Structure 1
Amino acid sequence: MRLYYSETMNPRKACAAARYLDSPVEFVRVDLQAGEHKKADFLRLNPNGRVPVLQVGKATLWEANAIMCRLSDEAGADFWPHDERQIDVIRWFSWDAQHFTRHAGTLYFENLIKPAIGLGAPDAAAVELATCHFRAAAAVLDAHLVQNSYLVGAALTVADFATAVALPYAERIHLPLDEFPAIQRWRARLNELPAWREPFPH
């Protein structure tokens, strides 16, 4: 298996999952600044021109959440559960995409990516709106985590890696995590995992 990645937010969770599961993947770095993700060879792997991509034989799979689930199945792990918890994982995937990481992703782009690629200063109005929406979503997540160590059940699942993907960048993208102690405890719990702390190949 080959896992195509870059050192950016969405590939981070796929790489972390591969390391956590000790998956036998070959990590293939895609140089976004050089435009490798827009070249014909890569577009045959993912017509969206985005990373991550998992290649298994002649088949390819894109979208980080799906890749995490496939890696879990390949490993015969319970990280992507196949019992009654699975519906709850899908619920958190959907909620996260529409709320938590959606708005954290805007802050990631405005505060980290734009300056890094020379697109100028963050858009103050976009930052203010995203921060407001992020706070609302974080309040929902924090309330859940007051009563639960992980998002689904009593153990780590792909839902945790999916939803927490912006947290390693929290200080740099100005996420107001000080207001949410249960999220902070969850973040610390994830940071105990070497695969989560250091997901990318060196």
Structure 2
Amino acid sequence: MTTGGSGMKLYYFETINGKKACAVAKYLESPVEYVRIDLSKGEHKAPDFLAVNPNGKIPALEDGDVRLWESNAIMCHLARKAKSELWPTDPAKQIEVLKWLSWNSEHFTRQAGTLYFNYLVKPKFGLGVPDEKATEEAIGLARQFAAVLDRALEGRTFLLGDHLTVADFAVSVTLPYAEAIRLPIEGFDNIARWQSLLDEIPAWREPFPSLQAAAA
């Protein structure tokens, strides 16, 4: 169930929010102990885990007396602790990161997450057929917000310019599943270029510890 050993424990499962936290931890080579919480077995509802995250969701992080939930907060905490520019030292850039994290949660990945849930999660966990009305609305809104993202990336390597931040990890999290979840990003050349750059990062391509290691 766990791998590694340190004062930090990162609780995860192979979902998009789990991917964000694990990718940043792996990218930073953070000294975390990975603890896999198997959602299919209801481990997120166990009292021991609820003591860490009363919401009963992953990811979650224990760092000494600090208990964090929400993938965005965990990414920022790991980056700040590592003194990495994934969380910029410039206060103005920190606000820019927060803008993208908030925009993503409320707009782009909010809609993409609906598609991810309907087309990937529902079949995997036997939760029924996709909600046609919800997916149709999400596809339309996702395309609207993809256009905003594409314009923002014009002339930029990453969301904040030339350097990678946690905002890139957050906003791009559903792109690898675009075809499977019918995410409408066709024709957005800046998004495609940005996605290709991110795909070159090993921690982003393979963020999760192997199941064999996690069981050790």
Question: TM-score normalised to the size of structure 2?
Answer: 0.91
Query: Aligned partners of 1:28 and 1:119: how far apart in 2?
Result: 25
Alignment pair present for 1:61 and 2:40: no
- Separation in 1, partners of 2:145, 2:13: 27
1:180 paired with 2:195, answer no
Task: Name the amino acid aligned to 1:184.
Answer: A
Gaps of 5+ in 2: 1-7, 211-216
**Which residue identity does 2:96 align to in structure 1?**
D
Deviates more, 1:131-140 or 1:76-85: 76-85
Q: Residues of 1 paired with 2:10 and 2:109: CA distance?
A: 22
* More displaced 10-residue stretch of structure 1: 145-154 or 10-19: 145-154
Percent sequence identity is 57
Asked if 2 retains the 8 angstrom alpha-carbon contact of 1:16 and 1:200, the reply is: yes
Match 1:148 to one of 137, 145, 156: 156
Q: Secondary structure at the match of 1:49?
A: coil
CA drift at 1:73: 1.5
In the alignment, which residue of structure 2 is the partner of 1:161?
A: 169
Report what 1:123 is aligned to. 131
Report the Cα offset of residue 50 of structure 1: 0.4
Amino acid at match of 2:202: P
* Matches of 1:37 and 1:28, distance apart in 2: 11
Number of aligned residue pairs: give it. Answer: 202
Q: How far apart are 1:82 and its partner, in Å? A: 2.1
**Residue number in structure 1 paired with 2:98:** 90
* Offset from partner CA, 1:46-72 (integer Å, 9 cap, x none): 000000011112321111111111111
Flag structure 1 segments of 5+ consecutive residues without an equivalent.
none
Letter in 1 for 2:21: A
Aligned residue number for residue 106 of structure 1: 114
Q: Does residue 1:15 correspond to 2:22, yes or no?
A: yes
Q: Distance in 1 between matches of 2:29 and 2:179?
A: 29
Cα shift at 1:170: 1.2
Structure 1: which 4+ aligned runs deviate by more than 2 Å?
none
How well do the aligned residues superpose, as a CA RMSD in angstroms? 0.9
CA deviations 1:109-166 (Å, max 9, x no partner) are 0111111111221111111100000000000000111221111131000110011111
Deviation at 1:107, TM superposition (A): 0.3
Q: Distance in 2 between matches of 1:64 and 1:85?
A: 19
Matching residue of 1:77: 84
How far apart in 1 are the matches of 2:34 and 2:189? 35
1:165-200: CA deviations, max 9, x gaps? Answer: 111211211112222111111111100000000000
Counterpart in the other structure of 2:13: 6
Could you tell me the TM-score, scaled by structure 1's length? 0.97
Contact 1:148 1:154 in 2 (8 A): yes
In the TM superposition, 1:31-42 aligns within 5 A as 31-42=38-49
